[in-house]
Structure 1
Amino acid sequence: MAVLSLKDVGYTYEKTTKPVFRGLSADFEAGRVYCIVGKSGAGKTSLLSLLAGLDTCTEGTILYEGEDLSRLDRDDYRAKKIGVVFQGYNLLLNKSALENIELSMAISGVRRKDSRAYALAL
């Protein structure tokens, strides 16, 4: 069963009429690695933003474990269901790498007695 499914997904930026892409359908299964490739401006980042729940598609449906992503709490989805690694890292510069990991764990609701040791192992 697919963890993420795209069903006829399209995306058009607000206040524009030309779609970035249309009619994308794909299934992403757990335990597999996928690559999204294309020329600059082809919509790779826009697609990843949709998959991460940072934006919503203007056509079609994205399903996470069979549920429509647009109907889920997308903040909870990002915090507890998926991981997003941004190009710019988005780390807090006044914190160490270890403290950034611990903070992410706390925000995600990960409660462990050995959180520091767990963060170090990561």
Structure 2
Amino acid sequence: MNKYSHIDLRVTSWEAASHFYESLLPELGFTQTYHSADWKVFAGEGVLPDVPYFAITEDPEHQPNGNLIGFWASGREEVDQIAELVTRSGGTINAGPQLFPISPTYYAVYFEDPCGNKYEMVHRLN
């Protein structure tokens, strides 16, 4: 059983980050929304609470840090597609997409949302 449940994420401004997350998260399989005044929730297919989800809230005092959230890609093409989507939706590419010396097949892109939260999309064979 996969023990992953959810991520509670802070952004300094939902207005600044909304286009980014409304573009990115459905591409990563978080296609259902359960939004309230305080939380924007993007969930996987299925019924809560049995599916993984992202819960995003606005916190003007939030300070991004060195934490990073990583996602698996099905292939290098998906890494490239996510990199293009990040650029189009207001995110920032920090490195890649390219091979990294973590392993001979480690192909990834590192990026940030408009509020500075860090992510990685990776494909590797070993």
Name the TM tier (shorter chain): under 0.3
- Relative to its length, the structure with more strand (as a share) is 2
* Higher gyration radius (CA): 1
Larger RCO, structures 1/2 (Cα 8 Å, 6+ apart): 2
- Relative to its length, the structure with more helix (as a share) is 1
Q: Could you state the TM-score of these two structures normalised by the residue count of structure 2? A: 0.24
Q: Could you state the TM-score of these two structures normalised by the residue count of structure 1? A: 0.25
